[in-house]
Amino acid sequence: MTGTMQQALVLSGGGVTGIAWGVGLLAGLARAGLDLGHADLTVGTSAGSVVGSQIAGGVSPETLLAAQLAPSQERAASFDPAEMARMFQSLVQEVGPDPRALRRRIGALALTASAVPERERVDIIASRLVNRTWPEARLLIVAVDVDSGEERVFDRASGVPLVEAVAASCAVPGVWPPVTIGEHRYMDGGVRSTTNADLAAGCGRVLILSLMGLNASPTLGHEAEALRQAGAAVQVVGPDDASLEAIGPNVLDPARRAVAARAGLAQGERLAPALRAFWEAGEVGETPLR
């Protein structure tokens, strides 16, 4: 094993339904006796920052699950994954291979989002959080500066309120407005990487939950392999077919929260034996697991 922090939980982006699926999965694991809330390090990006901040903060998966199963008053945001993919591909062709230049270009587009006022959006994020203070356990939340294209990794020592850090990480460019923190504005950490699993470097055991699906991140495989090459045991988990159907095509649709959470719950209970063997002893079976 490498480093002093042995166990890391990495939670990717995945939208509203990804949050629901992830919460369901964690609740299913907990019901089967596997509590992932005691990781030495939790890395959360976008949707993963919502789930990770709560799990690391000691909120029980059952409490989080109950919230996902409750009726929602939120409206679905307009989100077309295929259109967004085409837009990003067009930007790649326009800007070239420089990732920071690409992120700056995306940042310029993010500044045009006007679906809701920034403060209202931050309040919506706050309403989703049972725990609104930084946990004692180590938690990293990733966002991207819209002007410089540089990532910003928030933690307890950053001096930034947890709600603002989570809201920044969840500010999907072109959908939700960037979040102002100090003199900078930040957008979704998924613009850098949907998982940002490289931040778990130095841990001996890394569990990556890809909330949107295993094929949704072009960097996931590279990040997982780099961790393995550095000596870590790595297990990747993504939604199974039933969960993907429940999550649906619009990951920003709150109406699908309950069905996605229930699908995650069933999957978590099914995967619990394999994931317990990994979490407790570093045994890696089929990779990735679904």
Q: Which residues are catalytic?
A: 46, 188
Q: Which residues contact 81 (CB under 8 A, 6 or more apart)?
A: 249, 251
Integer angstrom CA distances of residue 267 from 111, 202, 242: 38, 29, 9
First vs last C-alpha separation in the chain: 25
Strand partners, 76: none
Integer angstrom CA distances of residue 80 from 13, 249, 254: 16, 8, 15
Q: Which residues contact 115 (CB under 8 A, 6 or more apart)?
A: 77, 78, 175, 176, 177
CB 61, CB 21: distance < 8 Å:
no
